[in-house]
Amino acid sequence: MDTKRETIEKLKKEKNAVILAHYYAPPEVQEIADYIGDSFYLSKLAVKLTNPVLVFCGVSFMGESAKLLNPEKTVLMPDASADCPMAHMVEQSVIDEARARYEDLAVVCYVNSTAEIKSWSDVCVTSANAVKIVRNLPNQHILFIPDRNLGHFVAAQVPEKHFLYNEGYCPRHEFMSADEVRVLKDAHPQAQILVHPECNNAITAMSDYIGSTSGIINYAKEHTDCQEFIIGTVSGVIYKLQESRPDARFYFPATRPSCQDMERITLDQVIHVLKTGENAVAMPPESIAEQAKQTLTRMLELAQ
């Protein structure tokens, strides 16, 4: 009897497929993935890979972005229902009203958004490149959608521009408890606090570092003089953190933040989509796809 890992290896060869996983996927999924990364790394990678089949262990906006950038490839989602609630949290009227008010407006859209929302926007960003891209845009007025927390984080780094915000948020990061982080800091006063910019203001205000999932992992890797870290993001990142800093200790808020949708992905689902080709991401309608692809392509160009 093959182990699940052996079955996946065989099927990958048969189909010439490659497996991509986000850092929030369960550890056993990250273990069998060919590439693990943050949203920016995975979207760049999807363009570079030559395999005709990509299995994307993430949520729907990730698979959809990979499909938009690679229309000729088959993108398979092990769990077709894995979605990001924030990816839907903006109304078109917010954009229309802002465009009517400011002629010189750039609509900057977090990659955690549907293809339709991307199609309303001028450029896409991820948490790893948002500051750089927004700073270099020629526009003075920026509407940041859908995440208000990432929008405020970028605005603080780019004070020379005027920002408009939208009321979207990631429930996992927004409702993380600052009191729980304070309890951890009291118990481990030497620990540095590393958080994702999707966190609420009370949490970012007490942090030592704010960055994307890969930013957090790299920070812990480079700061070897520190042995303890309090982590303000989804606990799936522990897999890579422990691998890169086996000597360090990592603490998460007691109400362990989890991205339930990504954490549902199983090896059996990976095997199933590889065997059957089910859950292939459909190309969005033409009226949306072209502009949505442009916002993503512009991000890849401006982030160079």
Site residues (CB under 6 A) for ligand SF4? Answer: 59, 84-86, 112, 170, 172, 198, 234, 259
Instruction: Indicate the residue type of 17.
Output: A
Nearer to ligand 13P, 38 or 116 (CB): 38
Q: For residues 265 and 25, is the Cβ–Cβ distance under 8 A?
A: yes
What is the C-alpha separation between 235 and 230, in angstroms, rounded?
11
Structure tokens at 187: 């118990």
60 binds, among ligand 13P, ligand SF4, none (CB under 5 to 8 A by kind): none
38 binds, among ligand 13P, ligand SF4, none (CB under 5 to 8 A by kind): ligand 13P
Nearer to ligand 13P, 241 or 274 (CB): 241
Residues that bind ligand 13P (CB under 6 A): 38-40, 112, 126-128, 170, 196, 198, 212-213
Nearest-approach distance from CB 9 to ligand 13P, in angstroms: 26
What is the C-alpha separation between 301 and 258, in angstroms, rounded?
32
122 binds, among ligand 13P, ligand SF4, none (CB under 5 to 8 A by kind): none
How far CA 290 is from CA of 61, 129, 156, in Å, comes to 16, 22, 32
Nearest-approach distance from CB 172 to ligand 13P, in angstroms: 7
Nearest-approach distance from CB 16 to ligand 13P, in angstroms: 27
Q: Which residues contact 261 (CB under 8 A, 6 or more apart)?
A: 59, 79, 81, 82, 83, 84
Nearest-approach distance from CB 13 to ligand SF4, in angstroms: 30
Nearer to ligand SF4, 8 or 232 (CB): 232
What is the C-alpha separation between 145 and 126, in angstroms, rounded?
11
Beta strands in the chain (DSSP E): 17-22, 35-37, 53-57, 74-76, 105-110, 123-125, 141-145, 162-165, 192-195, 209-210, 228-232, 249-251
Nearest-approach distance from CB 114 to ligand SF4, in angstroms: 12
For 15, list phi and psi in degrees, rounded to 5: -95, 0
The DSSP bridge pattern shows strands 162-165 and 123-125 to be unpaired
127 binds, among ligand SF4, ligand 13P, none (CB under 5 to 8 A by kind): ligand 13P
Nearest-approach distance from CB 73 to ligand 13P, in angstroms: 21
Nearer to ligand 13P, 132 or 272 (CB): 132
85 binds, among ligand 13P, ligand SF4, none (CB under 5 to 8 A by kind): ligand SF4
Nearer to ligand SF4, 139 or 236 (CB): 236
Instruction: Indicate the residue type of 300.
Output: L
Nearest-approach distance from CB 49 to ligand 13P, in angstroms: 18
What is the helix (H) or strand (E) element at residue 12, kind and residue range? Answer: helix 4-15
Structure tokens at 228: 């303890």
Structure tokens at 113: 């958004």
75 binds, among ligand SF4, ligand 13P, none (CB under 5 to 8 A by kind): none
